[in-house]
Homo-oligomer: A and B are copies of this chain.
Amino acid sequence: MKDIGIGLLGLGVVGSGVAGVLLNKTDKLAEQAGIPLVLKKVLVRDVNKQRLDCFASLAMTDRAEEVITNPEVDIVIEVIGGEHPALEYIKQAITTGKHVVTANKEVIAKYGYELLSLAQKYNVGLRYEASVGSGIPLISPFQQDLAANDISAIYAILNGTTNYILTQMSQEGLDFPLALRQAQELGYAEANPVNDIEGIDAAYKLAILSSLAFHTAVNPKNIYCEGISRLQAKDFKYAKEFGYAIKLLAIAKRDGEAIELRVHPVFIPEDSQLAKVNGVYNAVQVEGNLAGKLVFYGQGAGALPASSAIIADVLTIARNISYRISNAPKIQLNQKLTVKPISDIKIRYYFRLNVLDRPGVLAQISKVLGDNSVSISSVIQKESDLKSQTAVLVIMTHPAEEKAVQKALEEIKQLTVVNEVSNFIRVEG
């Protein structure tokens, strides 16, 4: 074997980054891998499209088979993204005996177990370090460095778009629609931002991390998911007054044989490590019984960070090939854990209510909460408005069952003294 052939599916932002590294760093990569890596074929949508001069030498095709079943290709890199046809391409590559490196969080979150089993059967590698946190080393530390730990919890900022928007809302006092528009203008949010802002992207990544952490196949469908669109500038103002930041966290917590899996906005103490993660950065906090609390921080998106992870995976596979070591994945997803329904979790809450500004209102609200076993930790009356005779009540609760809180909120909405339940946000830490 004189070189290792690479096939690249996709030449978009990430694909161009990967191709650039493979073309420009041939000597360094050959030295790292112990054998030259050669980019043999690239799948593009339009072979006639005008491209950067540095890509002039690339052999392009618009037929996936020419990459996937190409006898010169040993490793297929999939950076098309999305579920279809990426899933089919990956399967075809594996069953053709190719090693696969992918950055595809959706495919790995939904079909990871199936694909890893397939790779095991065909004795090929399937690596996906770039699928979570982009260039932040996570998959490999979770699989290898934390192997001796019983992991109790993951708290993670896994979506740079929403973290950028929340940072702007917090620092500039913007409301959500304006912060989103700015993020779109800067290219941090897509024209159709629903996957990011509704927490779906973060849920895919949480499914991948929690599968590794808890050695169980987590279906992203079982992750409770709430986005950031109902947050308002006011919530950030009150959060600060209480000493909190608001972040969209992906949370996985082990509780005996059950796990909590959820993505939603939370109040977290402003002096915590995660509260200080601003802008498009990502961070993953993981708690192990031995290692204690660890935080991994870095850029969670972008062509170069993704290339860092993808090329690292390629190098690992290439090194194993050159040392004749099997790349077949070792699957450890044998734990039988149930997912705790969101209604069963116990958690603290922040409520913002618009109420009539008159005596006895707090008593009525407190009674509803008390009747539902939700106990108040603090309450502040804000922004009394003389003209409309209304006031804003901000309430923080002690830990209570989610379903009790939701029932209490429904009853509070019915009170004639309550104009509006303006927002409610869970509190961690």
Contact = CB atoms under 8 A, between A and B. Distances in A.
Contacts of A325: 325-326
Interface stretch (A133-141, A247-255, A340-348, A404-412): A133-141
B308 A149 contact: yes
B312 A148 contact: yes
Specify which of A25, A129, A312 lies most central, judged by the most chain B CB atoms within 10 Å of its CB. Answer: A312
Contact of A291 (B295, B304, B332): B304
A294 B298 CA distance: 4
Contacts of A385: none
A92 to B, nearest CB: 26
Contacts of A311: 147-148, 290
A21 B290 contact: yes
Copies in the complex: 2
A371 interface: no
B294 A148 contact: no
A207 to B, nearest CB: 21
A167 to B, nearest CB: 13
A378 interface: no
A309 B302 CA distance: 31
Contact of A146 (B273, B308, B326): B308
Given A292-B299, A319-B330, A325-B325, A307 B141 contact: no
B293 A299 contact: yes
A83 interface: no
Given A141-B141, A273-B276, A326-B323, A148 B32 contact: yes
A289 B21 CA distance: 11
Given A147-B315, A332-B32, A293 B288 contact: no
A148 B332 contact: no
B147 A32 contact: yes
Given A21-B290, A305-B290, A148 B29 contact: yes
Contacts of A144: 137, 140, 312, 315-316
A296 interface: yes
A294 B297 contact: yes
Given A148-B21, A325-B325, A297 B297 contact: yes
A290 B298 CA distance: 11
Contacts of A305: 290-292
Contacts of A129: 145
A292 B273 contact: no
A31 interface: yes
Contacts of A307: 148, 290
A111 B325 CA distance: 28
A135 B304 contact: no
Nearest to A320: B325
A295 B294 CA distance: 10
Given A17-B290, A148-B315, A293-B299, 15 more contacts: A28-B148, A32-B148, A135-B288, A140-B141, A147-B312, A148-B307, A148-B308, A149-B308, A276-B276, A288-B308, A291-B299, A291-B305, A292-B304, A295-B295, A295-B296
22 contacts: A17-B290, A21-B290, A31-B334, A32-B147, A135-B292, A137-B144, A140-B140, A140-B144, A141-B141, A144-B312, A144-B316, A145-B309, A145-B312, A146-B312, A147-B311, A148-B307, A148-B308, A148-B311, A294-B296, A294-B298, A296-B296, A297-B297
Rank and list the top 5 A-B pairs by shortest CB-CB distance, nearest first: A148-B311, A137-B145, A135-B291, A290-B308, A291-B308
Interface of A: 17, 21, 25, 28-29, 31-32, 34, 129, 135-137, 140-141, 144-150, 273, 276, 288-299, 302, 304-305, 307-309, 311-312, 315-316, 319, 323, 325-326, 330, 332, 334
